[in-house]
Amino acid sequence: MDILEKIGTALYDGEEEEVVEYVHKALDEGIEPQDILNNGLVAGMNVVGDDFKAGEIYLPDVISCAEAMKSGVRELKPALAAANQESVGTVVIGTVEGDVHDIGKNLVAVMLEGAGFTVHDIGVDLAPEVFVDSIDEYHPDIIGLSALLSTTMPALQRTIEAVVEAGKRDQVKIIVGGAPVNQDFADRIGADGYSGDAISAANLAKRLVQ
């Protein structure tokens, strides 16, 4: 098993310290930081996503894997910067007003970072105006809106409407997600995209900035 496979296996097992150790070893072996990211960390997380969809692993396992990936990405960031690895784009992500859940949002943020995005996680229970203000503060390419509770789904629409009313809708793409959300709802409220899981969200974001 080569070092990139070891990274993927350690990530799948949620072994945070081992992931960090193998990332350092891979760098010491002269492997390009982008290869470590794509063929070690992201490849491992892709397997996690596939097995989660298939019902072979469960959410607590995914969370452990995501934490391991987050640590690996954090260790890799200086090397990526030194290699002049440009950011794919900038994403602001947060949970909408009335909802304090953040597990799904956090998973998406980790996967976006792993995909090469600069991510600004602005928190939970956020009024529409906070997202509007974030456009001026961070100049994102994409805003990600999360809602876990069906009762907070209207806040997704209110947030998009606030961006429109502020005259900033053409400045950003807006993607939505969360357990009660689906593609039909995303279309109805005028979102640019919907994703049902973190890995798909990262792929969606990459398509939107191409």
One-character DSSP codes across 149-178: SGGGHHHHHHHHHHHHHTT-GGG-EEEEES
Q: What is the pLDDT of residue 162?
A: 98
Q: CATH classification of 90-209, choosing from 3.30.1370.10, 3.50.50.60, 3.40.50.280, 3.40.50.10540? A: 3.40.50.280
Q: Indicate where the chain has its CATH 3.40.50.280 domain(s).
A: 90-209
The CA distance from 83 to 9, in Å, is 25
pTM of the predicted model, to two decimals? 0.81
| pLDDT band per the 50, 70, 90 thresholds, residue 189 | very high
What pLDDT digit, counting tens, does each position of 50-99 carry? 898 899 998 899 889 989 998 998 898 888 877 766 789 999 999 999 99
What pLDDT digit, counting tens, does each position of 112-133 carry? 988 889 999 999 999 999 999 9
